[in-house]
Amino acid sequence: MLNAVLFDLDGTITNPEVGITNSFRYALEQVGHPAEPDADLRWIIGPSILEIVERHGLPVSLKDEIAAIYRGRLREIGLSQAVLIEGMVEVIDELRSEGIRLALASAKMIDMGETTLRQFDLLDRFDVVAGTLADGKVRPKSLIVADALEGLGNPDPTSVAMVGDRRHDIEGARHNGLHAIAVNWGFAEPGEHDALPPDHFVDTPEELLATLMGLPSKRSGPSEPSGVS
């Protein structure tokens, strides 16, 4: 049986689309680079602010200003607009009932991750909440996962799984030698996982729970991430 499970937040436990995309639109308007009204911004859910700014074609010099406005709007309004993925509370509770420890490993700032878990009465289910530090500096998912593992007492990585929807989650798992599980209800773009496939894809929370309860299985050791998260 697994010792611990690490979860991504956005697109894995919650659907934050409305709050995140609207907060980003607001930030772009404030810095004079409004997005097109019909622009599909769901791809921004998961990557770091730096990656988002670069891909959106904005001057990197605006990164800190955009981040500050975006995070402020997210705290004020956006976080409360997230909704739970149906079935995930049951997954979390079943894992806890089996004595499996849980950690959040999210690119969100730690206080935001805690706020989101708290608003759904889930914070007490998690032993560790890892994420972007208070300084707001971009950190690869591999370091966030490592923080979560350290908070759990550095368990044997072959007894730990990382669950997420984006490539950054799989990279973080691989870099730290964890089982990597990708959920198909999140925000991964077509072909996103082709370069670095996870150990398992799951379509529903019920399938996720069954997969987790069937681990660990024999697998290879850690490998380097395929890109920057």
Q: What are phi and psi of 34, to 5 degrees?
A: -60, 145
For residue 49, pLDDT beyond 90? no
**Mean pLDDT of the region 40-52:** 89
Query: What is the Cα 165 distance to its own chain's centre?
Result: 7
Q: Which residue has the tokens 């409305």?
A: 18
Name the nearest CA neighbour of 189 among 25, 55, 38: 55
> What are the tokens at 91?
């997954």
d(CA 224, CA 185) in angstroms, rounded, equals 26
pLDDT bucket at 228, cuts 50 / 70 / 90: very low
Q: How confident is the model over 83-129, as pLDDT tens digits? A: 999 999 999 999 999 999 999 999 999 999 999 999 999 999 999 99
Domain boundaries defined on the chain: 4-15+83-213, 17-81
Q: Is 4-15+83-213's fold the same as 17-81's? A: no
Architecture field, domain 4-15+83-213: 3-Layer(aba) Sandwich (3.40)
pLDDT bucket at 217, cuts 50 / 70 / 90: low
User: At 177, is the secondary structure helix, strand, or coil?
Assistant: coil
Residue 204 to residues 29, 95, 131, 207, Cα–Cα distance (Å): 37, 16, 25, 5
User: Domain 17-81: which CATH class?
Assistant: mainly alpha
Q: What amino acid is encoded at 212 in this protein? A: L
Q: How confident is the model over 32-42, as pLDDT tens digits? A: 999 999 999 99
